[in-house]
Structure formats: C-alpha cells, structure tokens
Amino acid sequence: MKTHYYLGWFENLFPENLSKVLKEDITDRKSMVMISSNPSLYGDDGATERSWLDQAGIMFDEYHLINYRVQKEEVQKLIHNASVIFLLGGNILNQNVFLMEYKLSEWIKNSRAVVMGASAGAINMSAKWLCSKNFGDEVEVSSVYKGIGLDEISILSHFDLENNMELVQRELSPLSEEINIYASNKDCAVRIKGNTIDIIGDVYLISQSQIQKLDETI
C-alpha cells in the first residue's frame, strides 16, 4: 500500500501522534534517500529533516543525499532501493527543475518506499501547484507547475494561513476548480495511505473556490 506524507515545517520535534504513525508505517529502515531542494549548493544536507526522524526514534542503516553531484544512473538505483524517500524543504523551483532534469517522477511514483516531503518537498510531491510571488516564490508572473503527482491533489505547505486567508483563497480559487488543494502552516501533515487521507494539525481544504478547516483524524 502506497504511503505518502505531505509535511509542513516543524520548529522542534514531530508531535507524538505523527511520530506514532510514522513508526507504524516505516517498518523497513535500510535506506533513506533525501532529495535536495538546492541541488547546486552542496551544503544542503537535510540535517534538520533528518533530526525530526532521529528524535522520533526512526533511524536507518544508510543515508543518501541526492543532488547534482550524483549521476543519474546512481540516483535511479538509490531510489529503487530506498526504504524512505524524503524530499527536503527549501527552494521549491530549484527542486522542481532538478526532479524534471533527472526524470525522477516516474522512479519515485513506482518506488515501494514511503515518500515524504517537507514544505517545498511536499509541494513538489503533488500533481500540480501554483507558483506565485504572493507565496514568496521568486517569480513575477504566477503560473501552475507540475509536480511528481503521487496523488491527484495540490499542496500549499508551510505558509502563514491564519494571517493571509483571503489572499490564499483568492490566489488558489482558479486552481481549486480543477483539483483539491490542501493548505497548511507549520507543525502539520497530510498522510495519504492507499485511499485514506489523514490530517494532523491545522490543515485546510480548498475545493471549488471554497475553503474549510479539516478535522484532525490522527
């Protein structure tokens, strides 16, 4: 059964309920593969995201960081053998370009690994997402980008929703007519396991231009 975690950003530790389900879902702990969001900057090592899992007691025999230093053939091998694939937070556009250049979408979709993404990584896991300077993206013109498409949803992750609800609804209304959008701030997660969607923290669903806060299910 495919399991995907769309995470926000965590200032401290994973909350207990998230740690619990992660431990249940991640039973194979041979290899974690991290996909950089700044693949040209080799100091991006995923230390923060890795620390969340460490503190939850989820550790692996091997850790691999994928960036431009790693050859495409080696990347495909690492993904094929991964227990967990973690798309790191950071620069969403740089990560998107890297995913497309290395043609990683199909490899990740076909993987048996648990796939996780934090902030930018979560956004790039989705089917499509809105790139807008109003969301802090370094662009002048808003446009819709393709993500990996692990699930037929869109994600807005790690954004200050509470103080920008009208902006979020206005910006995302057109896209929400095509696809359901899950929007969250910090310390939140959406878990999709098979056909079941679980909510942790403050997550909002934007669908058909309407926005509603979802109940926690875990």
pLDDT tens, residue by residue, 95-120 = 999 999 999 999 999 999 999 999 99
pLDDT at 138: 86
Q: Which of 182, 120, 184 is nearest to 151 (CA)?
A: 182
pLDDT tens, residue by residue, 130-159 = 999 999 888 999 999 999 999 999 999 988
Round to whole Å and give the CA distance between 87 and 157: 13
Task: With a cut of 90, say whether residue 186 has pLDDT above it.
Answer: no
Dihedrals phi, psi of 75, to nearest 5 degrees: -60, -45
Structure tokens at 20: 């619990």
Q: What domains are defined for the chain?
A: 3-213 (3.40.50.880)
CA dihedral 90, 218, 153, 96 (to 10 degrees): 20
pLDDT at 129: 98
Round to whole Å and give the CA distance between 146 and 151: 12
pLDDT at 12: 85
Kindly report the length of the chain: 218
Round to whole Å and give the CA distance between 127 and 181: 10
